[in-house]
A and B are shown apart, each in its own frame.
Chain A
Amino acid sequence: MPAAAPTPVTSTPAPPGADRRLLPTWLKSALVAGLIVFVVVYPSLDFTTGYRLRFATFLAMWIGLASSWNLLGGYTGYVDFGHVVFFGLGAYGVGMLMVKSDFPFWLALPAGGVAAAAFALVIGVPTLRLRGPYFSIAMLGMLVAVREIVRSLSSITGGGSGLSLPIVGAPTYESFFYLMAAVAGLVVAVSAWVRRSQFGLQLAAIREDEIAASMKGINVAGVKIRVFALSAFLTGLLGGVNAYWVGYIVPQQVFLEAYTVQMIMMGLVGGLGTLGGPVLGAIVLYWLQQTLWANFLDWHQLSLGLLLIALIYLMPQGLLGAFGRRGVYSVRRLVETWVTSRSGDDR
């Protein structure tokens, strides 16, 4: 069969530093363990008021959302402007199964995620064939279309007035916090795993140069649809938890474009395509929003838009300088590119 490879010299191990990481492994494990402990005790702390618990739950949700979007947008380079559609589908999946079919929540939740993934499989086939901005906008269109359809099917979905989930027997706020944190943790864990895996390599190759990737033997279409479904599933799970937690679902709120922007911005601010980027971005952005604009609810979305514009104005180059499957952590690169773009010489 194949022509012989160059006869191997004695197989030497990879040179030191080949798997260069930012932090040593023991430190990372310690941090993760510490974080888990923190999450477990958080609700019981005196510090934790009802407000703070809700804050933490939402924060966990956004970390999860930003990370799940990042799988598709950051790792694979497919910028999905309508990704929140999966959030909404997960929400409605859970809602409808619990309300119409009396499913218990623990069964409805994964089913909701699967529903979102199934939808992704169906629409992924045509839309993933679209390049760049076409894909982005097609997904935005998908979001708008699904929202309108859900709103129209009022007999099934409750239409514009929405769906109310059973409150009786619902878990406590503490339990919801744990659940949300667990799902967010799952998303981040999956992202971490994918990143190191060969699947992650395939995604990176697709992001860099789809045609070259296929020339290297990668079944690009197959890989794309898988990551699409995976991302949709995770986003759907988050939507399902959110639905039960909030207690009701309204199309205008779960299928909200601004949420997608928020997911994207979190990834951008923290560093697209990295593991910690979306997490960091979610923390920073969510905290900013809650503390700076908590008093101006009406201004919430407006400030998001303004922030986005400000970000772009200040560092048009910097926002995208942070790619890299493994590599220098994005914040530094972000600052570097910001500095160079200020000196006026970017092209």
Chain B
Amino acid sequence: MSEPILQVRDLVKHFPITRGVLFQRTIGHVRAVDGVSFDLNKGETLGIVGESGCGKSTLAQVLMRLEKPTSGSATFEGRDMFAMKGPELRKLRRDMQIVLQDPYTSLNPRRTVGDIVGEPFEIHPEVAPKGERRRRVQELLDVVGLNPEHIHRYPHQFSGGQRQRIGIARALALKPKVIVCDEPVSALDVSIQAQVMNLLGELQQEFGLSYVFIAHDLGVVRHLSDRVGVMYLGRMVEVGTGEQIYQHPQHPYTQALLSSVPVPDPALRGKREVIRLSGDVPSPADPPSGCRFRTRCWKAQDRCAEEAPALEVRLGEHPAACHFAEERPQLLA
């Protein structure tokens, strides 16, 4: 296994809930990310799946240093990310880039594609000298499968899939080492989604990129990821290789999630094991005590309310945060 490029330990991000206009006081916290640890190895893709409100996007924001963590640490190539400043931070900003979900709102409608993709060079002129920028931008457009001649067009002249390619070109401009992809294909139609996913795969091969790939679609994550982490209410409940998570899930939440994904094969109708969770995800402002999944879990016992299960290896080879972790294969077919 290659060495980790990014190491995250016990990362916590709480957002205060305030009341009052003039005299604001904090009346609680939204525990968006509440103790997440993982390693990202060089050249690998770590998929992060979870439903809305599980904290996966907040995690992306904190990793990009767009939000300050409440506590916890993260190192990039062995150096503390959150302590960086000055030139070191500028270097980090080059090395880590993000691709956002919505290709409609993440591109400035008043600027041409050339401006958008070339903007990183204004901030980091050392990457491409002024005279070379136009050529670099055209190269980037070519790399992501857009016509380099379209450099003077505006975002509205492109379709959703093409805009997402523009976003990817912008992220590639500074030759980053890590790209955080926050739901990069969720807004796209199936046929276009497949094109963009293939592109992300090719770029990884070509440039040796490492991805943190955040998505709610388990199929998409499976397809691109070497390892997968499952999040629920701000915590990582299970981490493992694609094979471990999808074929041998141990955490009840992972099992329920897999069982809920509709399989595009009517022959399997009624033949798959069905786990239906009742109710909704509790509010991250007031998460249940102990194990956060216990309010929807069919295995929950008294112990689950008292003691939060650690993310550790209990059986098999990969860690799951459940006191009663047990394998349950054949959820998929």
Partners in one complex: no
Interface residues of A (CB under 8 A from B): none
